[in-house]
Amino acid sequence: MAELDATKFYIDGTWVAPAEPRLADLISPAAETVRGQVALGSARDVDKAVAAARRAFDGFAQTSREERLQLLERIAAIYKRRFTEMGQTMSAEMGAPISFATRFQAGAGMGHFRVAHEVLKDFHFEEKIGASTVVREPIGVVGMITPWNWPANQICCKVAAALAAGCTMVLKPSELAPLTAALIAEMLHEAGVPKGVFNLVHGDAAVGQAIAAHPGIDCISFTGSTRAGIDVAQRAAPTVKRVGQELGGKSANILLEDVDLEKAVTEGVKLCFRNSGQSCNAPTRMLVPKSQMAEAARIAKAVAEAVKVGDPSRADTEMGPVVSAAQWTKIQGLIEAGIREGAELVTGGTGRPQGLDKGYYVKPTVFANVTPAMTIAREEIFGPVLAIMGYADEADAVRIANDHPFGLAGYVHGRDLARAHRVARQIRAGMVTINMAPADPKAPFGGYRQSGNGREWGRFGIEEYLEVKAVMGAAA
């Protein structure tokens, strides 16, 4: 099989060279060596991709449900065949341990095609409201901008939903994880996605900005930082397009007094450190009763110190490096801020873990007695850094959880399920997990407040890409 190539774009059903030659190196996060190159596109490449997507739209929008179901089925089958390659590609380019990259990261991507297929089977594109018929129609050309941290998951949840809806699309994946996108493009090509329906342009912020502003694009689906999400929405505003935003998080994990502390702290630490802490929905603020702070810190220290950090290609590695030098430096600065502002450093700290002198490795770090005003309680660190905070009572826990401009996720642990549900309902976030229930690919994914607008995954993901038309006076 030919090696994946990120120096070409996939436009109108074929691999093409960029309009202007501009390349950036792809750096291995584990070895800090150059492992390839990515082409950085320009507004001219976006123009070409949008033109192809516009030409393809009328035809694809008219395809039957059955045709689109078959397409999704073929994609899922090809994905399954290349599943291991998908895990290896992500592990090498963004540093997730191979076991995690394969099972969870690659699995999440494939899951979205399966779920889209299942949801599309009985999706209601039409309903009667009063004397009118309300029709849901594909919105048009979707511009997709994605990050590097769960690359296949983020691309596939958008692409699967857009295909199910009957939309065409232009994707700009992260310049740090372009090979995952190239692999997905190969799969879509092999599955027979009609030319122009899916287009891929690699590049940095400039390509994302060109997509956001493009008058030929009807809807943007952006996943990434709040900073970039705001910029995208501002650039999209003059053309009045719909903008879906999946942005940052600083999610609280409330441990109620009746919890099995050993179990809940262990699970909370592990989930916070998963993917080297680079998940938007990571439970990064652990809220424990003040009386249990010392015990929670003791458990968290033991869990953090047992994490196997190292080469992501090894089967037994639990935590790989973070994605880039910039990310590593940012995390170091935030750990320093925690120490400087008086949080109790329980374990970890600045510098690389012992024995790892190359690669963007970060020490699994736990701070206790963190207060809500501290930088590490406010900033999204996007690294393996946990802040344990104390609360006085249930109302105080809810207040601290909600005392943040983000509202992506929340977590509640408690033996009394009725109480856990009551607390869950008070958390102002798009997704709240009780007792570490597994992620549900059919449930809506997205956040309140500055964590974004709109929802992805399952039925909600397809709805993002549909327009609503009221047909009145046609009482058929």
User: Is 246 marked active-site?
Assistant: yes
CA dist., res. 331 & res. 344, Å (int) = 17
Q: Is 275 in the site for ligand NAD (CB under 6 A)?
A: no
Q: Which of 163, 247, 331, 420 binds ligand NAD (CB under 6 A)?
A: 247
Stretch that binds ligand NAD, among 26-34, 113-121, 127-135, 167-175 (CB under 6 A): 167-175
The residue (of 196 and 454) whose beta carbon lies closer to ligand NAD is 454
Distances (CA, A) of 418 to 85, 412, 414, 422, 429: 44, 12, 9, 6, 19
The residue (of 273 and 391) whose beta carbon lies closer to ligand NAD is 273
One-letter amino acid at 239 equals T
Burial of residue 431 (CB within 10 Å: 0-12, 13-18, 19+) is buried
Q: Is 379 in the site for ligand NAD (CB under 6 A)?
A: no
Helix axis angle, 107-121 relative to 65-81, nearest 10°?
A: 160
Q: How many residues bind ligand NAD (CB under 6 A)?
A: 31
Stretch that binds ligand NAD, among 12-20, 140-148, 252-260, 467-475 (CB under 6 A): 140-148
Burial of residue 309 (CB within 10 Å: 0-12, 13-18, 19+) is buried
Q: Is 100 in the site for ligand NAD (CB under 6 A)?
A: no
- Tokens, residue 243: 């903008």
Distances (CA, A) of 18 to 8, 12, 53, 176: 6, 13, 17, 18
Contact 368, 301 (CB under 8 A): no
What is the closest distance, in whole angstroms, from the C-beta atom of residue 245 to ligand NAD in the complex? 8
The residue (of 169 and 259) whose beta carbon lies closer to ligand NAD is 169
CA atoms within 13 A on the CB side of 27: 13
CA dist., res. 333 & res. 352, Å (int) = 13
The residues in 280-299 that bind ligand NAD, with binding defined as CB under 6 A, are: 280
The residues in 194-233 that bind ligand NAD, with binding defined as CB under 6 A, are: 204-205, 208-209, 212, 223-225, 228, 231-232
Distances (CA, A) of 459 to 90, 97, 116, 119, 463: 27, 31, 8, 6, 6
Stretch that binds ligand NAD, among 124-132, 147-155, 254-262, 464-472 (CB under 6 A): 147-155
**SS3 call for 246:** strand
Q: Is 452 in the site for ligand NAD (CB under 6 A)?
A: yes
Which of 156, 280, 380, 463 is an active site residue?
280
What is the closest distance, in whole angstroms, from the C-beta atom of residue 35 to ligand NAD in the complex? 18
Q: Is 134 in the site for ligand NAD (CB under 6 A)?
A: no
Stretch that binds ligand NAD, among 23-31, 142-150, 357-365, 410-418 (CB under 6 A): 142-150
Q: Which of 76, 78, 145, 400 binds ligand NAD (CB under 6 A)?
A: 145
CA dist., res. 274 & res. 101, Å (int) = 11
The residue ranges that bind ligand NAD (CB under 6 A) are 145-150, 172, 174-175, 204-205, 208-209, 212, 223-225, 228, 231-232, 246-249, 280, 380, 382, 408, 447, 451-452
Write out the catalytic residue numbers.
246, 280
